[in-house]
């Protein structure tokens, strides 16, 4: 889980979105495969491949395997052609998810409108009535498949109390479901959320203040390393128009 709660002591003039993208990129490893959604997840994956994971294989929902994301040409859709630049394969969209089902995808990388204490993600509706919601969101796309089938899931989202809720209004992407072994009973794996690291200047108490449920924590809670100047330079080169960096 990588969240964008930036503290006062972060490197300036780095934004919360930039910090989020850099920290998320550091989570990705070389010689692995990541299924990345558009926006900050894809930006972070492209940064990781550019800097420390040259053999990282990107999978994009539209049916694209192993593309090279050109600086300044970050796609805003999973189906546009620049998402397929120098791709290794261009299979059908169902084949892309079949690779995850067969265990070939190491990391699912996505965002979400709501996430609860058990890691369930909502990208469908806000409000308790699915048919008459307060807000209707984009929906699942491939998010359910990623949460259910990838070996590891990383959720990249701003850390706000309205997003981190005790129970999501709708389970688009399942994690530990209701807790108490319910995910295992459904044939899936997960755990409950805890604080493992905080950005510079952000205390565990501040994180709890921006979270709508109780959080455990490791001992000690680590502090994330602020982005270096060259990390920021590479990141900003990927998104010079700041469509995703804010």
Residue 113 CA to residue 227 CA, distance in Å, equals 25
Residue 108, SS3 per DSSP: strand
CA 86 vs CA 45, 101, 119: distances in Å? 16, 25, 34
DSSP assignment letter at 196? E
- Cβ atoms within 10 Å of 47's Cβ, excluding its own: 24
Residue 141 CA to residue 139 CA, distance in Å, equals 6
Cis peptide before 181 (omega within 30 of 0): no
Helix boundaries (H) for 11-133: 16-26, 40-51, 93-101
Residue 6 CA to residue 20 CA, distance in Å, equals 8
Q: Is 166 a catalytic residue?
A: no
Residue 121 CA to residue 186 CA, distance in Å, equals 16
Angle (CA) 29 33 35, round 5°:
115
Which of 18, 27, 61, 80 is catalytic? The answer is: 61
Question: Can you read off the two tokens belonging to residue 133?
Answer: 């919601």
Q: Which residues are catalytic?
A: 61
């Amino acid at each position: 889980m990588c969240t964008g709660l930036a503290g006062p002591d972060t490197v300036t003039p780095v934004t919360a979105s930039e910090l989020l993208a850099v920290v998320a990129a550091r989570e990705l490893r070389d010689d692995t495969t990541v299924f990345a959604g558009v926006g900050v997840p894809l930006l972070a994956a492209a940064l990781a491949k550019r800097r420390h994971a040259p053999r990282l294989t990107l999978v994009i929902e539209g049916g694209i395997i192993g593309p090279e994301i050109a600086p300044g040409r970050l796609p805003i859709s999973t189906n546009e052609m620049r998402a397929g630049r120098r791709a290794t394969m261009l299979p059908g969209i169902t084949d892309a998810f079949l690779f995850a089902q067969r265990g070939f995808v190491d990391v699912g990388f996505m965002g979400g409108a709501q996430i609860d204490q058990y890691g369930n993600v909502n990208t469908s509706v806000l409000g308790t009535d699915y048919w008459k919601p307060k807000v209707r969101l984009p929906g699942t796309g491939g998010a359910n498949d990623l949460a259910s089938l990838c070996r590891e899931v990383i959720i990249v989202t701003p850390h706000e109390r309205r997003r981190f809720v005790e129970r999501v209004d709708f389970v688009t992407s399942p994690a530990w479901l209701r807790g108490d072994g319910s995910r295992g009973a459904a044939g899936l794996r997960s755990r409950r959320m805890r604080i493992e690291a905080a950005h510079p200047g952000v205390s565990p108490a501040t994180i709890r203040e921006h979270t709508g449920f109780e959080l455990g924590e490791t001992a000690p809670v680590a502090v994330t390393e602020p982005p270096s100047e060259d990390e920021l330079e590479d990141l900003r080169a990927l998104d010079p128009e700041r469509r995703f960096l804010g």
